[in-house]
Structure 1
Amino acid sequence: MTSLNAQRRTWAEVDLTRIENNISAVLSAIKGVYSIAVVKANAYGHGAIEISKIAIKCGVNVLAVATLEEALVLRKNFPEHPILILGVVDVDELPIVSENKLSITVHDLRWLKMANNAIRLPINIHLKVDTGMSRLGLHTAEQVNEADFILSSNNLFKKEGLYTHYAFGENPDSMKKQQLLFNELTKGINKSDYYYLHLSNSASLEDSLSLGNTIRLGISMYGLLEPKRLSIAGEIKQAIKLFARVTQVKHVSAGTSVGYDHTFTMEKAGYIATLPIGYADGFIRRNQGRSVMIDGTKYPVIGRICMDQCMVLVDANVQSGDIAEIINDELSVLQMSEEIGTIPYEVVCLISNRVPRVYSRK
C-alpha cells in the first residue's frame, strides 16, 4: 500500500532506489565501457527528468532521446550533460541543435548532403548503420563510406558515435549476423575516429560488446526486461507501480449488466467497485477480465473498460476510498504484457501524462 494525498485518484509510483540499483547492477557487471541511458518517451513512462538525474548520478555518459523536443526539455534541466537524439532532426533545426550542444543521428545520405550545405556551427554526429531493422540508417558500404568522407571533409561535423540497432535483441544467431554485416558495411572507414561505438542494448550486452565500447541502457534500467544472459538478472527489479482509489461501491442484484455493450452480467447479487482509471490513462480495454488487487485480494475487471473509468467485481470488504493496485510486483508489467498480448515497453509508455508520477525511495 501507499500513503498519499486522499485527493489523488489515480497515480503511478516510481521507486528511484530500484532505478539506481538496476543501473548500478548493469554498469558493475559490464565494466570498462561507456554507457548511454535511453530516456525517450518520458523515460518509458517513468519520468525523463527524475530518471536522468539517477542515471547521471550512476555515471552514465550520455542521455538519449527520440526527438529534438525531448532533448530540449532535458537540456534545460541538464545544461552540460551529453544528449543524443536517436531520431531524425530536420536540417533547418541544426542551429537549435548547435546552440544547445546536442548530438544527432545521421541516418540518410541525402539528409547529410543537405546538412553539409546548411551547417554553420559545430555539431556532434552519431552515424547510424542499418543492419537488419530496415528502419533508419545507411544500408550499404558505399553509403557508409561516402557519409564518413563527408563528415571528415567538414570540420564542423564532429564524429562522436557509430552505431546500429538489433532487430532480434535476444537471439544470439540473429545478432551475430547483424554484427558481421556491421563489420562488412563499416570496414572501409576508420571506426576509431568515432568515440562511442554502440551496438549493445539491454538484452544483448554480453553478446556484442566485442564489437563496441558503449552500452545503451533502456528497458533494463526500468526493470522490465531482465537481460537473461547476464549474471545480474536477478538484481533487476521493476520500478513502477500503478494505483487508483475506489470512487464508488454499489450492491447490485443478479442479472445486472455492466458497462458498454453489456459484455458482463451478474450471475448473482454482489458488489461492483468503480475505479477512476481507463484507456485514456493507459489501462487499455484488453485488460478486461484481468485482476487488480485491493488490500491483498485480487478482484476481476468486469465489463468494457471506459475512457476514464473501469468496474471491478468485489465483495463487501471493499469500500469507497480504498486503494486498488493496478500494477505492482505481483501484478507485474511483464505479466500484464503477456496476458494482453503486447510487450512491456508498450504497457508503460501508454501510461498517459494525466497520471501523476510520484517518486519514492525504499
Structure 2
Amino acid sequence: MNNSNLFSQTTLGPFTLKNRIVLPPLTRSRSSQPGDIANDLMAEYYAQRSGAGFMVTEGTQIEPRGQGYAWTPGIYSPAQIEGWKKVTSAVHAKGGVIFAQLWHVGRVSHTSLQPNAEAPVAPSAIAAKAVSVFIETEPGVGALAEPSQPRALTTAEVKQLVQLYAQAARNALEAGFDGVELHCANGYLINQFISEHSNQRTDEYGGNLKNRLRFLREVVAAVAEVVGPDRLGVRFAPLFESTKEDRVYLGLVETDPQATYVEAIRVLERAGVGYLSLAEADWDLAPELPSSFRQAVRDNFSGTIMYAGKYSAEKATRVLTDGFGDIFGFGRPFIANPDLPERLRNNWPLNDVDADTMYGGTDKGYSDYPVYQP
C-alpha cells in the first residue's frame, strides 16, 4: 500500500502540519532530580524527533499529587517551567509543533510519591488493581510496586483540581508550548471520574453518565479558556473487550463503551476542542476498535482525529483512506528511530527498541539511537 498520503500536509487548529506522523506521549522518566525538571537531555531527545508533523510530550504532572511514577516531569513549579523552555526552544528551532500533555494519575500512585507520604487522591476510595506504579527505592534506583489505597476527593477539592489544570495550561504556554493535551485515558484521574467502576460518588460528579462527565466538561472548559479550544487536544483510550491484557487500561471497560465515549466526544465537540486522540490497545493480537465506533467518532467530532497504538504505516494509511483518522501516533518506532518519518517515506529498515532502557537512565536507549545512513 502506498503510504504517500501520510506525508501530505494537514491542519490542526491554527497549525499546518508538514506530515501526518505524530510523536505521541511516551513516558521515559528522564527528568532531573530533585524537582522532576525537564533538562538538556530531554531537549535533545525531542529535537531529534521534530521531523514529526506534530509532537506531544510525555505525561507531565500538573501538581505533586499527580505523580504516579518516579522521575516523570512536572509543570507546576518555576524550575519546571524553565526546564521545559529548553525543550520547546529546541523543537521550535527545528520547525516542530509541540503540545504538553497535562497529566494527573489520581489513584494510580504510591504514598512514597505523594506529598508527606499521604494517600493518593481519587474520585472514590477504590484501589487500582492489576497495575503497577514505579517508585524510587533508593537514589537513582526504581522498582515496581502496587498502588496505595486512595482517599476520595471532597467536592471542593474536585473544583480546586479544575483550577490546577487551568494553571498547568498557563504554565505550559509560559514554557513555550504551542498547546496542551489532556490525558483522560489509561485509567488516570479524568478517566477515573468517567468510569462507572472507579467513580461511585454521590455528589454532582458521580452517578449517571452526565455527572461522571462533569469533571471532564469543567476541565476542558477551564483549559480551553486559557489556551483556546483550537490549541487543546484530549486523549481517550476506549476499551471494548476485557482480556487478561487490559491491565494496561486498569480494567476500566465500561458496560457500554461506545455510548460512554461517544457522549464524552460530544462534550469535546461542543467545546470546540482542536483534536481528539484515541489510544488503542497495543498488545499482541489486541482487538482493533470496531468500525462502527470509528464511524461514530467521525460523525460526532468535527476536529482533527488522531489514532495511536501499534500503528504501522500501512495501518495508518488504511485508516486515513477509510476517512476515520487524520494523524497517527507511532510510539515504540519513534523511540528507536529519531528519523522515523524519513524511514517510513523511504521504506528504510527500522531500529529495534531496547526494552531495558525505556524508563529512567541516561542517554543510552534514549537519545543515542542512530539515524539511518543510506
Q: TM-score, normalised by structure 1?
A: 0.36
Which structure is larger by alpha-carbon Rg, 1 or 2? Answer: 1
Question: Would you tell me which structure has more strand in proportion to its own residues?
Answer: 1
